[in-house]
Structure 1
């Protein structure tokens, strides 16, 4: 039986988790050649662009303007090509065994039935060419070569048929035992469209249930909402560094009573090609509501929280908490699937089951309280919340709002405020206290745009959930199968203030379906993937990841 609270246990660097020796950045292991070369090329390209932009500024500044001329001179814009696509996938859930004070925490496999796999999609260009792409370990060892990189050519590219059939590179349910990275090389100065999803399932053990997460683009400022370090709850923050530069990470912890000052939460070194584990109960013990802001100096990092629940001897589920949208005046969450309200009321009224029901958590990082209005939209429109859906969230703290009394079904939650905040919604499955249950967290996400790559796992009940909180939206979803074919698109017309649920078929035209290309038009719309298992209490939700970035133009100025 694992211990679930470790108030005096420090964090750990796993391997990829490598031991934390307390050394400087110079002691970090040499990164793999692939990420170092990729970033070196990006730095050289940026230097060339800045030099070119500087030349433009100098020429303009030297041009005579005439006596008394005061015409302002705008800084020229330099086109910055997008880089490669990188998605860092969580490693399998691991059982925290514990350790003596001052030693590294220990992890072990969870059960004999546990399975972890990655599904991924990489889109080809309009001329039918796949970008060089691969699924690799965090240290750079290639696991699956999706497509080989095109050889460098000094002459013009050979002509290709104008009507080349669209295609995709596919990774279908590749078993994994550690953190992995899906990477795809840039094409013609544009970031390729690619996406991956990692899913964990187990039918026995303390981490029974399912957890899934989209493989995320590393960043330098991330918000995670939904952690819990109370009795019987275990929260492990995982920080992965795929870059060629060391990352120095600092954490800000927000609880129900405000900002938590935690020694040991600053200056955490994550070496290139490694993952560092932080036991959150060692920094903020006994917190039923805990949000974590992850800020990295140096290399960007990917972050998720492995959250699990054990009520006595009964497993209460496992989840990978993914980053939510950055604080803003409005947040939208979809994929919120609610069970029978009468059954939930009976379960959550029992001791130890307060977190077994659906709820919304709101984190207000600023110094002013937030007056927040909450609206919940189902298949046939808006549903009323007890109290009218208006609450006051305290500054610098985490506020929880139960979604009690809402009829069963899938929902989209729209939240607005006069003060910036971030949010996520808890989704639960299971209505009997003596049986194993499961839960998931659906984070606030950005509105849908064009050509989102949405991989789905190869088994279970899978649903695309789309919500349009206000005006009408049209969603186009194009299936992609395991043979790399991109099939004809289907469309869903969603009325304002409603949520649509679309069942994902097992196959299309005789080939296993592995994902979709999703685009939205009209008023703002939001999307998520809802995963369940027939006859089981498993549940997971994954927000649709942002689409590929194109070329950007940035102003270039010289100064001294």
Structure 2
């Protein structure tokens, strides 16, 4: 093989690795190509992991799966999407399998030993495939609603808001979707810095399996406010924290958005009785942040909490009490100085109700909606969509899908004022029954951040859960290419 041939195949292989496709022109051998500008194309395969829902004998879990219409790759007339229990075989029946975009599908289980699920979607069902896991525990000390959007596997997660206090029981669930083992490290940070953990390093998660780890077994320290850092030194995992309290229910704590010098936590309920901010600076520098609440009418600065100083490597907690004062809002943290800003992760612990009728949920910082985001499980009553445009006015398109029992989708265009939060009840599909999905599309204007609260009150307890709506990453940037035969002479 001559030198020109070696260069030719080397360039073609590198291009295929970047774009995910082979480059062929004409009827002969592959020709090299030169990258130009990137085009956004629909993804052709998606993966999700759902943690084991609950060990309670009083729990009922519903899985709602959905893929929006409109983003299938050219020629993708077929597709599959479904979830399998960890350790399942080719003959295992899929959970909530989809057959077409635009219509949600549900599956329900009342098993206390329901396993974690691992799923994939391909073809026309891959772009934007979303699965919501909603568990209702109607009795016992853990009563409440536990909700989470099943997560895409990755190698790193941040969980500000975890705890090892005496009245909390926090399990981090690590789910490995691949055919090789993953090795995971767990690090805990409290207000004084790193906690010593004897068993947090080198946790092996076998292939196609899920491992729950009780955080209080990693350290003897009892800390109310912690930041958990999950890193996979080999492989990848899905990760979520199940946080339960003895007197105020609990919920899934999902990962914060990637560290950033400004963060947005959208959708604090109007009737929140207690809000606690937990934040962590991930770099070697401290973070000084301005605190603002974006309400339905504009921005306000919480009295006594105008700024927050977050020391590097230490978890900072701020009790904001009933900050919303009966008006829905979103918390925004921005650097107080234009230079030297440090990246942070953050989450809110939100309580509704009083006395013995309290319920807890978590609201982590989230990424903006670049193109589209979806909340899969919505009910005719009890769903509240919160949208905030922190820096500039924006327009979004909101679509309520057909229901699991049929119906016609409903679409509405909403304009958001700069520096405000809009809380609304998404319209149910016309003539439809059952759960439906709500999709938010960015149309124009500044960045938009969103979350969805699902309320399922019972016996006087305001049981609820909140899910953020980051972009569904249904599109991937693929470089445009053109022939460049001159590379053969280099």
Q: Scaled by the length of structure 2, what TM-score is found?
A: 0.82
2:178 to 238, 243, 249: 243
Partner of 1:547: 472
1:294 to 215, 225, 230: 230
Partner of 2:430: 508
Q: Specify the SS of the correspondent of 1:265.
A: coil
Deviates further, 384-393 or 222-231: 384-393
1:416 to 330, 334, 343: 334
Partner of 1:29: none
Q: Deviations over 1:519-551 (max 9, x none)?
A: 023111111011223442212110014223334
1:400-549 to 2 correspondences below 5 Å: 400-404=317-321, 406=323, 407-417=325-335, 418-432=341-355, 435-458=356-379, 461-480=382-401, 481-483=403-405, 487-505=409-427, 507-521=429-443, 522-534=445-457, 535-549=460-474
Change (3 A) 1:75 1:391: same
1:368 to 285, 309, 312: 285
User: Separation in 1 of the partners of 2:260 and 2:375?
Assistant: 25
User: Separation in 1 of the partners of 2:237 and 2:348?
Assistant: 24
Partner of 1:380: 297
1:89-104 to 2 correspondences below 5 Å: 89-94=50-55
Deviates further, 213-222 or 409-418: 409-418
1:99-498 to 2 correspondences below 5 Å: 110-112=56-58, 114-124=59-69, 129=77, 131-140=79-88, 141-144=92-95, 146-147=97-98, 167-175=101-109, 177-187=114-124, 191-284=126-219, 285-310=221-246, 315-339=247-271, 344=273, 357-387=274-304, 389-404=306-321, 406=323, 407-417=325-335, 418-432=341-355, 435-458=356-379, 461-480=382-401, 481-483=403-405, 487-498=409-420
Q: Specify the SS of the correspondent of 2:333.
A: strand
**1:365 and 1:396 in contact (8 A); partners too:** yes
Q: Deviations over 1:1-59 (max 9, x none)?
A: xxxxxxxxxxxxxxxxxxxxxxxxxxxxxxxxxxxxxxxxxx99749969969xx9997
**2:98 and 2:104 in contact (8 A); partners too:** no
User: Separation in 2 of the partners of 1:211 and 1:359?
Assistant: 19
**1:146 and 1:169 in contact (8 A); partners too:** no
Aligned-residue RMSD, C-alpha: 3.3
Instruction: Tell me how far 1:457 sits from its aligned partner.
Output: 4.2
Change (3 A) 1:429 1:130: farther
User: Separation in 1 of the partners of 2:32 and 2:57?
Assistant: 68
User: Separation in 2 of the partners of 1:391 and 1:295?
Assistant: 27
Partner of 1:7: none
User: Separation in 2 of the partners of 1:532 and 1:523?
Assistant: 29
Deviates further, 534-543 or 208-217: 534-543
**1:436 and 1:537 in contact (8 A); partners too:** yes
User: Separation in 2 of the partners of 1:430 and 1:147?
Assistant: 37
Question: How many equivalent residue pairs?
Answer: 445
Instruction: Tell me how far 1:233 sits from its aligned partner.
Output: 1.2
**1:196 and 1:215 in contact (8 A); partners too:** yes
User: Separation in 2 of the partners of 1:469 and 1:77?
Assistant: 30
Which runs of 5 or more structure 2 residues have no equivalent in the other structure?
A: 1-13, 336-340, 482-486
**1:245 and 1:298 in contact (8 A); partners too:** no
Which runs of 5 or more structure 1 residues have no equivalent in the other structure?
A: 1-42, 61-73, 95-109, 149-165, 345-356
Deviates further, 244-253 or 500-509: 500-509
Change (3 A) 1:78 1:527: closer
**1:454 and 1:545 in contact (8 A); partners too:** no
Q: Scaled by the length of structure 1, what TM-score is found?
A: 0.72
Deviates further, 444-453 or 137-146: 137-146
User: Separation in 2 of the partners of 1:533 and 1:145?
Assistant: 22
Partner of 1:163: none
